[in-house]
Chain A
């Protein structure tokens, strides 16, 4: 990477697009240059910079990948992502990456694995969950917790239901703003799931992704419950423009979230998570 131009995207084609919810969609992408496609590989939890012609770039975590294809799940919230939602399959975009740190799956072997996500925070852990599922015997118990505001906004419910059937696997879902309590669903925020989760507090790895407040509260609770802070990992989101630790926007204390993160061990970021406007 040293001699390459780390700012320059490569062309990729949108092979398929799925409208997941009214504001969220998934792209299946492939680099048009076979050489680029062949040399591309990502670690679970990393992100790519996706570029929309004439508009700009956004940092989006890699939801899944299978060698030559990449999947990104994107919520249309900003100038770039809203315009991306309008692109039909067959369009071309720019992609550079992968960037950032990854989930500590290698260190998690033999331990109980706990995923805690909220909203679209489920996307950055998808490939990790699939990895654990595919290598089920190498890990201890698997707990998957996901919270959404309304059940109808939830992504991939059939996938969660399929995981529920696996051995030693708990799938806990909650909707914070629904009036009705659906079967297999709780009502409330992610906190209501923590009590129900069954895992070894002293021998687990927690991987968490969601809004700052949710991660702060959940990580604090877990630590109070006896989970060592070093076993809790969070994926942060900040303004990222260069993705390589140069542009300075994503700084969080001494950390460049794009380069040192987005995945951090909780103690590395905990001191500043409750500082307002940090």
Chain B
């Protein structure tokens, strides 16, 4: 299954066409006109991919810059991960018809489309596994999530380019993809090394012409990954140290962060593993029918901790603390590892430029604040 094959760059269009032919809606990274960044959205073919563009990311800043290369995937990551394609940020769960006082409940039957994601990153696949654990592997299964997840085809691409905000090497989730893909690509200057990771991926590749990857090509791919790893300057503290955050809940550093934090929740919205959502009813004006919806929610919103007329986490300090301690410490208790896969989106997309990894390091270095 994991034999490394090779195909030249111009054949990527053929691969995408074959995926479409197999009935998939194809989602890939695309420059969003007017918004100036990469997002995963539907693409017609390889021509929609961000060829010759790299991203420059720093806290609170994302820019796409031409890199003079013909590569399609010479960028680190997109504004949002795979999350919106499985955990949809707004969806109707069920509806009710009220007739003569009786209630007739009707679940929304997911019309999940076969969807292929082209260009999935190691960090995002790791985060997808975290969301799978949350929505699928517990006592209760989210049938809406499952319907979409089962129809997902993942074409991953190993990173060849790290943004300054990336720290996947320190969480152990990247830059190389370690699993969870159907097809895995390494992009080289002239073409792609390809591996298959599932029978679904293998089936798609059956009739696709490839040659055996040369040792030279494989070495180039390995070197890219290694360069990507060493280029990362940010890092999260070691996982075994992170539970100590729970002994540091009264640190003045939380106040210091809260002075800068806008409590806007952008970090939680772009985080590929955040799963919070709220439910609400949306009745028709005539009152005869109603719909029950859910919206992606954030622990930075006051409603999140609302309890009998009171907001438990009233101040931004407590909300940031909830976000970080959950992501890095209590997540381990819930799912056996942290909820952070090192994509760095929380840092790039923070309008206040708060550096998540840096703050985590500061908090753990803060011995005075520790009880």
Contacts and interface: CB of A to CB of B under 8 A. Distances in A.
A112 interface: no
Contacts of A56: 279-281
A253 to B, nearest CB: 5
B302 to A, nearest CB: 11
Contacts of A251: 322, 326, 330
B330 A253 contact: yes
Nearest to B249: A275
Contacts of B134: 246
Interface string A1-42: 111111111110000000000000000000010000000000
A131 interface: no
B84 interface: no
Interface residues of B, number: 56
A2 B142 CA distance: 9
Interface string B139-153: 111110000000000
Contacts of B292: 7
Interface stretch (A162-170, A190-198, A233-241): A233-241
A8 B96 CA distance: 10
Interface residues of A, number: 46
A249 B330 contact: no
A74 B278 CA distance: 22
A248 B143 contact: no
Interface stretch (B167-175, B313-321, B358-366): B313-321
Nearest to A246: B142
A151 interface: no
Given A6-B140, A53-B290, A259-B139, 15 more contacts: A5-B94, A6-B142, A7-B107, A7-B279, A11-B104, A53-B96, A54-B98, A78-B308, A93-B103, A94-B105, A239-B305, A241-B277, A244-B139, A245-B139, A277-B314
A254 B94 contact: no
A254 B308 contact: no
Contact of B107 (A5, A11, A248): A5
Interface string A227-266: 0000000000111011011111101011110010000000
A44 interface: no
Interface of A: 1-11, 32, 53-57, 77-78, 90-94, 237-239, 241-242, 244-249, 251, 253-256, 259, 271, 275-278
A5 to B, nearest CB: 5
B107 A278 contact: no
B305 A242 contact: no
B275 A248 contact: yes
Contacts of B290: 53-54
Nearest to B314: A277
B68 interface: no
Interface string B149-182: 0000000000000000000000000000000000
A253 B247 CA distance: 12
B316 to A, nearest CB: 10
B311 to A, nearest CB: 9
B315 A54 contact: no
B141 A277 contact: no
Report which residue of A3, A249, A275 has the largest number of chain B beta carbons within 10 angstroms of its beta carbon. A249
B2 interface: no
B283 interface: yes
A10 B309 contact: no
Given A237-B308, A239-B307, A245 B105 contact: no
